[in-house]
């Protein structure tokens, strides 16, 4: 998370509190439309849990993304008109 903050924000790390986020907390956020950024290790933990609760989580190609200079996958679920969440 510290790497993400350094790369993508202007926040000063000493002024932030970074803590472990549990899957249930992420799921609560997803329900209200929050976006989450995952590195490869975090997404590998998130994916089976998301699928187990019925979210349509896709496989991620981190190898290609890293080759293109991207190290994080951003996930946000939106509600479609048919009521099915999509990524």
pTM attached to this predicted model: 0.72
C-alpha 87/C-alpha 75 separation (Å) is 6
C-alpha 28/C-alpha 41 separation (Å) is 21
Q: Pick the closest to residue 8 from 43, 35, 42 (CA basis).
A: 35
Higher pLDDT, 18 or 43: 43
pLDDT surpassing 60 at residue 58: yes
Tokens of 21: 């986020």
Tokens of 48: 């089976």
pLDDT surpassing 70 at residue 55: yes
Q: pLDDT band at residue 47, thresholds of 50, 70 and 90?
A: very high
Q: pLDDT band at residue 32, thresholds of 50, 70 and 90?
A: confident
Domain spans in the chain, listed from the N-terminal domain onward? 19-86
Q: Pick the closest to residue 76 from 26, 23, 42 (CA basis).
A: 26
Averaged pLDDT, 5-19? 75
Residue 18: the pLDDT is 73
75 - beta bridge partners?
A: 36
């Amino acid at each position: 998370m510290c790497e993400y903050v350094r790369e993508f924000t202007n926040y000063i790390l000493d002024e932030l509190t970074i803590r472990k986020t549990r899957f249930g907390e992420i799921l609560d956020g997803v329900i209200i439309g929050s976006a989450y950024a995952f590195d490869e290790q975090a997404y590998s933990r998130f994916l089976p849990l998301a699928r187990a609760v019925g979210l349509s989580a896709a496989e991620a190609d981190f190898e290609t993304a890293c080759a293109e200079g991207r190290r994080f996958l951003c996930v946000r679920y939106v509600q479609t008109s048919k009521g099915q969440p999509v990524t």
